[in-house]
């Protein structure tokens, strides 16, 4: 084949390489989006802890080492004394004891707010806001701050759909790196062999060490996608049924304004006596005379909150919503969020999630760096070849 006939073939190959390189560069925004989601999710994991550092009012400052935590009745009395006329709706004890109690109240004008109450003294240390740093980070990570239209947001669809390539990368990564477990015993990170070698080694190490975490994140995010699709199509898997109310004959009659409810501590104690494995973490006050006192907490299965409805007049536990009352689909669905956030145990689990989140973010970043450098080198090679083709073409044309 002479030089003139070879030019169309070489030009055709050059054009194909050009489209491949353009395709590679266009993949970078996806890499950047995945990195952004991983990084914001990592920050969101410890957003409550960041608030704890920045806002002294949410800390559970213990006056002395011997000071015992207050019961629900003492907290209720302290709040009502500090703010007469306020209606307490809900008292919650956070999972981590370093945080103040969260007491949800309704003022006389109907405005709702959250009070941070010291669990040892009952002092109101501050007022919470719905849209704080914790909510902002979760919204930024979960649905990119895209407004919801009803119960759905296309931002949520976009973020949760990234679970598909994440799960695919997990499976293909295991298939590509044979006997990957050897890296646990003999890790290799070459620091003096150039940036491309370094980022390649780092990418492999980060991927291998974060395999369980990636599996959890990909699986839970994938379930969020399925759940949102069901919500969008008005499909529910709930087996909750009709809300329970108190029988009419159990409600005392009379014209007095004081309703003879049992104490909140007694309600929590009765639930704990009937279900010893259930550790009461919150109580919800009745909205009206026909509502129960709701006592909730975690039992032997820590991922799901279980509840018990207590008759506020006779102290009878009339209904429960426990793990065994849920369907398999509900059990899986309600387990996904705490598994995704790590917010079902102490501070050490949150810190572990944070460290693995950083590792996952570094994994994506290193993959992006490897991809970028490889694409940049291919782009340079293509430009060099195009110049050579043009030079040789011009020389041939001058010779003719």
Q: List, for residues 353-395, the tens digit of each pLDDT value.
A: 999 999 999 888 887 877 777 777 777 777 777 777 667 666 6
Rg value, the chain, Cα = 30
The predicted-structure confidence for 256-295, as pLDDT tens digits, reads as follows 556 678 999 999 999 999 999 998 999 999 988 899 999 9
For the chain, what is the largest distance between any 2 Cα atoms, rounded to a whole number of angstroms? 114
Q: Tell me the CATH number for domain 241-248+259-325.
A: 3.10.450
The predicted-structure confidence for 41-58, as pLDDT tens digits, reads as follows 999 999 999 999 999 999
DSSP string, 136-179: HHHHHHHHTTPPPBTTB-HHHHHHHHTHHHHHHHHHHHHHHSTT
Q: Are 271 and 278 in contact (CB under 8 A)?
A: yes
- Does pTM top 0.85 for this prediction? no
**The predicted structure's pLDDT at residue 129:** 77
Confidence check: pLDDT of 179 > 80: no
The ranges assigned to domains in the chain are 3-48+141-236+348-399, 241-248+259-325
Q: How far apart are CA 308 and CA 296, in angstroms?
A: 6
Q: How far apart are CA 365 and CA 99, in angstroms?
A: 34
Considering the chain, what is the average pLDDT of its residues?
A: 86
**The predicted structure's pLDDT at residue 394:** 62
Q: Are 272 and 248 in contact (CB under 8 A)?
A: no
Confidence check: pLDDT of 23 > 70: no
- Residue range 77-100: mean pLDDT, rounded: 91
Give the pair of three-digit tokens for residue 66.
């011997």
């Amino acid at each position: 084949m002479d030089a003139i006939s070879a030019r169309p073939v070489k030009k055709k190959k050059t054009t194909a390489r050009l489209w491949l390189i353009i395709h590679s560069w266009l993949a970078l925004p996806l890499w950047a989006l995945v990195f952004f989601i991983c990084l914001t999710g990592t920050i969101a994991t410890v957003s409550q802890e960041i608030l704890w550092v920045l806002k002294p009012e949410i800390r559970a400052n213990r006056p002395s080492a011997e000071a015992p935590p207050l019961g629900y009745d003492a907290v209720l009395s302290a709040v009502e004394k500090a703010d007469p006329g306020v209606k307490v709706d809900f008292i919650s004890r956070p999972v981590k004891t370093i945080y103040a109690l969260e007491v949800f109240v309704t003022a006389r004008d109907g405005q709702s707010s959250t009070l941070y109450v010291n669990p040892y003294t009952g002092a109101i240390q501050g007022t919470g806001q719905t849209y704080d740093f914790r909510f902002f980070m979760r919204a930024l990570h979960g649905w990119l701050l895209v407004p919801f239209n009803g119960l759905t947001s296309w931002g949520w669809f976009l973020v949760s759909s990234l679970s598909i390539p994440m799960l695919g990368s997990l499976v293909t990564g295991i298939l590509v790196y044979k006997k990957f477990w050897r890296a646990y015993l003999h890790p290799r990170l070459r620091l003096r062999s150039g940036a491309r070698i370094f980022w390649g080694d780092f990418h492999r190490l980060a991927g291998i060490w974060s395999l369980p975490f990636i599996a959890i994140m990909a699986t839970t995010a994938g379930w969020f996608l399925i759940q949102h699709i069901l919500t969008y199509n008005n499909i529910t898997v709930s087996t909750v049924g009709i809300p329970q109310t108190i029988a009419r004959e159990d409600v005392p009659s009379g014209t007095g304004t004081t309703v003879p409810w049992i104490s909140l501590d007694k309600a929590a104690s009765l639930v704990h006596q009937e279900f010893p494995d259930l550790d009461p973490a919150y109580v919800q006050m009745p909205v009206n005379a026909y509502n129960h006192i709701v006592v909730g907490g975690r039992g032997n299965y820590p991922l799901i909150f279980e509840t018990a409805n207590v008759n506020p007049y006779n102290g009878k536990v009339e209904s429960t919503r426990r793990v065994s009352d849920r369907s398999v689909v509900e059990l899986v669905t309600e387990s996904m969020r705490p598994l995704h956030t790590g917010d079902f145990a102490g501070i050490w689990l949150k810190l572990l999630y944070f460290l693995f989140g950083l590792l996952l973010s570094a994994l994506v970043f290193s993959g992006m760096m490897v991809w970028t450098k490889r694409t940049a080198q291919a782009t340079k090679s293509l430009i060099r070849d195009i110049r050579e083709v043009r030079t040789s073409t011009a020389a041939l044309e001058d010779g003719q």
